Amino acid sequence: MFAGTGAIVINEVSNGAITHVGIALTFGLVVLAMIYTLGGISGAHLNPAVTIGFWVSRRLRGHEVFPYTASQCADALVASGLLRFLFPNSELLGSTQPAGSNTQSFVLEFLLTAILMFVILGVSTGAREKGITAGIVVGAVIGLEAMFAGPITGASMNPARSLGPAIVSQHLDDLWLYVLAPVLGGALGVIGCRCVRERACCSAAEKIDISPA
């Protein structure tokens, strides 16, 4: 949150020094780094839609969903609050807002998150995003989707990522879109995984990862 939305804010105050490509790469690279750093400890979900997707796919116990999502949302608020302190003149703090119609952005966010969840389920171990390729693949998908869809929707794919800047900057009109569409899209990604690789996606052996970190 701090790096990704911070890149948007710094791009604004530096008159475009980072560029849209740089912002997309920042989101992808910071997720890559966090997966390799924390994937073996917490799973490095970083995203309520992914956490709920793991629960829907039966890889995460129900009682673990709230601690994950509460932490993600709280951290998003803290990151946005720190950006407000550092850049008090920033109006949006990197908030995600539709460039076109709400329907256009809703469908895009829904599909972007579905693709992301489908990929994550394919490269993760149990409820954890870890392994040799997980960080590279997930980070690359986030960077790619932010690259082509960012100018239209902000390419959130993450309710917490949109929640923090929206609340701190008080731009709440379109927040519902960025909460609902990623959660539904994550569920679609689970369905897609079950259709093409059911045994590997949600088999009994993969439901809950109980191996030591």
pLDDT at 86 over 80: yes
- Return the higher-pLDDT residue of 129 and 205: 129
Cα–Cα distance, 154 to 181 (Å, whole number): 13
Using alpha carbons, select from 103, 100, 84 the residue that is nearest to residue 92. Answer: 84
Give the pLDDT of residue 194: 85
Q: Where are the alpha helices (DSSP H) in the chain?
A: 2-13, 19-38, 48-56, 65-86, 102-123, 134-153, 159-169, 175-202
Architecture of domain 2-206: Up-down Bundle (1.20)
Mean pLDDT, the chain, rounded, equals: 89
Question: Which segment of 25-34, 37-46, 167-176, 203-212 scores lowest on mean pLDDT?
Answer: 203-212
Percent of the chain with pLDDT over 70: 89
pLDDT at 200 over 50: yes
Give the pLDDT of residue 34: 92
Give the pLDDT of residue 175: 96
pLDDT at 202 over 80: no
pLDDT at 126 over 90: no
| Cross-strand partners of 90 | none
Q: pTM here?
A: 0.88
* Residue 211 pLDDT class (50, 70, 90 cuts): very low
- Residues 125 and 209 sit within 8 Å (Cβ to Cβ): yes
Give the pLDDT of residue 201: 60
Using alpha carbons, select from 165, 119, 123 the residue that is nearest to residue 143. Answer: 119
What mean pLDDT do residues 71-91 have?
A: 96
What mean pLDDT do residues 93-111 have?
A: 96
Residue whose tokens read 């400890």:
41
